[in-house]
A and B are shown apart, each in its own frame.
Chain A
């Protein structure tokens, strides 16, 4: 009788130690999922300006983008006029680029996925593998802090075994109202490669949203890319035939 009591006491002890960890992992998982859904919405239409900054050089372009669900998107360059009409379609893990001047569509080979999109600090993978964070990583809560009266969770995301991932580790900062504040990308040696910082949180498209996304490579001071949202509209849905190759060839903006 005594032994049984002891046993159940042990069981209780084990649970009380193990459960919070389990709960925390689930918390982190659902937190990331909720934040991802919050940021992306069911569907969206937006206009943004991308500025690529280099020590001796800077260039801006205006992009119009449509997204649907977790992984489909299509975007076109609107400005400058010289590049107007160049489009990129992203569907699942694949990407295609369209150039109106030669009227051709090119499928991006896997070897090019880690290259910068249009010379920016956002790689093709950053754009194509958006939902990879949800599908391929395990998230754990590492801590939290309070900034301006709001709780900010620090989350460490490690790839699932054998998942086809780009990053060896990601570290996230997510505010309690599901807004991403920062995303750090590490390589397989757990060295910081680049950081995405989300700034200028304000009402946008009917919800609080970071209007400025700043991607900076680690170790270089004066090289970064900033995406600033000018217009953002969340929708319940967009026609699926918008995200097709034939649609890519016929810019509609």
Chain B
């Protein structure tokens, strides 16, 4: 160990209280950043996964413009060809076929204009959580042509219970009138109010018959093994779309299907970043203050060293080494503590309590922070650079020192 390094280390512990305080300020900033970033990424993942699992899926193949216009006539003419292709796409875990139409749905008492969705019960169960959120009654059996699933809030609004009849009156693909009577087989509750009040689900086959779909459907919905696989699967599907004219087909990912969700995430990230910047500025100034103090109060000592022949550069190196050591210790401790705390909550989960509020954002149950290299390293790295810059500034004073004046400095 060189003499400078030893001096730096000793200087550091000449005033242990100040050093520890500064280090803990750095460490605290790091802990906060690691935890908050992990928390944010974790909650985004929860939000995306919940929203994706409830209904949307990761990817849709559908007619171009269908997403915007929701026009009954914008169909996938040959769903089999599309499912075959989707099945072959890399990273796809499961897929299902759906058909939708806005229709009047009426009980004995009330009528509402809502979305009627034709689903393939066996495949749907693998793609969405629909089957698992049926709270009363049962999920649709394959081949059930008369059954319907109704959301909790819609069931309330329509005043229906299990076994009650629903009359559906809408318009078929060819413009003819579609009418059918369905029986409520199951009532589900996803926790997302919007979903629970705005649609009913029925068998795809029965839907295709009633709405004169002639075998066509509106969406092929795919779910990937993980969020990272989505881009690859999308590219494959886009390149292998079966040829269909008027309308052509297109592939949409969850960001295009739920632009609101992505905007929500972006907004939250921006407000998070503003908070981090404020945090960093505060920490940086407090550290700047500490270093400035430590140099000012050692003016006499630096004067002596200079009188003995120490050059400003050497003193500068000494001071930088002090700050570097303090910095590394602080950041290191902060990262370790941050990782431990985050990891604890990653395992345990955090119950926010505000279920109603969170449900609106698609978060049901607990939030699990997610520790990643990005959340672990990015915050502390910025803290490290900022504190280093804060330490460098006061060292400029060393070059202005004159040994005699410095020694007389009170």
Binding site for B on A (CB under 8 A): 52, 56-57, 59, 77, 80, 82-83, 86, 97, 99, 101-102, 104, 106-109, 111-112, 115, 118-119
Contact = CB atoms under 8 A, between A and B. Distances in A.
B106, B175, B181: most-surrounded residue (chain A CB, <10 A): B175
B175 A59 contact: yes
B246 interface: yes
A57 B177 contact: no
A118 B103 CA distance: 11
B175 A97 contact: no
A109 B111 CA distance: 6
B104 interface: yes
A111 B113 contact: yes
Interface SS, A side: mixed
B104 A108 contact: yes
A77, A99, A111, A115: most-surrounded residue (chain B CB, <10 A): A99
A97 B103 CA distance: 13
B104 A112 contact: yes
A57, A77, A80, A102: most-surrounded residue (chain B CB, <10 A): A102
A83 B113 contact: no
B180 interface: yes
Contact of B179 (A104, A108, A115): A104
A198 B104 CA distance: 31
Given A97-B104, A104-B106, 7 more contacts: A59-B174, A107-B106, A108-B104, A109-B110, A109-B112, A109-B113, A118-B171
Interface SS, B side: strand
Given A83-B176, A104-B167, A108-B104, A56 B246 contact: yes
B113 A57 contact: no
A99 B177 contact: yes
B355 to A, nearest CB: 29
A112 B112 CA distance: 8
B214 to A, nearest CB: 14
Given A99-B169, A106-B167, A57 B175 contact: yes
Interface in B145-195: 167, 169, 171, 174-177, 179-181
Given A108-B104, A108-B111, A109-B110, A102 B176 contact: no
B113 A102 contact: no
A106 B181 contact: no
A104 B169 CA distance: 9
A102 B181 contact: yes
Contacts of A99: 167, 169, 177, 179
B112 A118 contact: no
A101 B111 contact: no
What are the nearest 8 A-B pairs in CB distance?
A99-B179, A59-B175, A104-B167, A106-B106, A112-B113, A102-B179, A109-B111, A83-B177
B126 interface: no
B53 interface: no
Given A99-B169, A109-B113, A115-B113, A104 B181 contact: yes
Given A82-B176, A109-B111, A102 B171 contact: no
8 contacts: A97-B169, A99-B179, A102-B179, A104-B169, A104-B179, A106-B104, A108-B111, A109-B113
Contacts of B180: 101-102
